[in-house]
Structure 1
Amino acid sequence: MFFAPASPSPPRKTALPPMKLSQLFTAGLLLLAINVPAHAGIFDEDFDDDGKSWQEIKKDLPPAPQAANLVQFYVGPTASMTFTIDVNSISSDTDGVVRYTLVSKSQAGAENISYEGIRCQTYEKKLYAFGQKDGSWSRARLSNWQPITELVANRQHAALAKDYLCHDGMAAGKVEEMRARIRENRPIKPGS
């Protein structure tokens, strides 16, 4: 008996197994997640800042304070020290920081001199240097920006920021205005 050789059969196409609607939905979500940019849905805090981040300027230390330039200011009823500011040392710079020399004196007579800054926009303070008896300065080892708090007996930074140096998150006018406000003991009125 003679058999004819079988002709090769065409390759069979395999059909995909039927999928349920829930499987199709899950597969679609996975494909969508793969194509979504990693930053989608994240708020860009610098959007309105034109790509510029805040940069603190470098500033030279001022001359040692002179007694004739020191003006005392009111800190509050719980203060255990007296505070004076060298009005000639007050500066307001392009970085939004108001800098000044502060002299604090304890009831026993101990005196500290410091060169500091207040960033009105963020309501923070920074210590730059300590004054020495010979008129020189010693740079502060810990000079990070720290929040200003009112919940302390000696609230000198809060008093300076709220009453004399800052208003609505900005320096409260020109330097001469700040100096006059302190000299004349004329705190900023709320809402003005």
Structure 2
Amino acid sequence: MSEVKIAVETRSEFGKGAARRIRRENKVPGVVYEFGLEPLHVSLPGHELSLALRTPNVLIELVIDGERSQLVIPKAVQRDPLKGFLEHVDLLMVKRGEKVQVEIPVQAEGELAPGGNLLEHVLSALPVEAEATRIPDYLTVSVAGLEAGAAIQAKDIELPAGVTLAVDGDEVVLQVLAAQAEEASADAEGDEA
């Protein structure tokens, strides 16, 4: 779990015009949400935020107006559909020890059984509940020796201490599919006979 410190400024202007002015200054408009409180509108440095968001489920310590700091995690990120630059970010305030629901990327390791089978990621990220300061970067799943028709369910994935599933345990995360080329050639051979 990586933690990044970013200095931000509160803002009082809202709307498209204000957002465009903020973006021209190489900053990103954002909103910080905390349960039961009014949202806090901020502007964040674009480059630092972009670097921080490269890590999934990054924990960000915001230094607000140089006075106080608050831990947040990204809730929603809006990017320009053509150029890809950050347009807006929603952040969720968290406290150390507080549990949050996030999606953790799933990485497969190992070689499938011989035969040219394909591995399908039904869920590329697994919804879990974890302490805000102990969110794993990714979950590793061994697929060594799995054959066509095999599936790995959410309950089969070993989770780190303090992390629990936020999805039904019977949900399929990875499955092994039979290679299509072999089936097509087998059908062609059957037709010739």
Task: Note whether the superposition's TM-score is higher than 0.5.
Answer: no
Higher strand share: 2
Relative contact order (C-alpha < 8 Å, sep 6+): which is higher?
2
Larger of the two Rg values belongs to structure? 1
TM-score w.r.t. the length of structure 2 is: 0.24
Higher helix share: 1
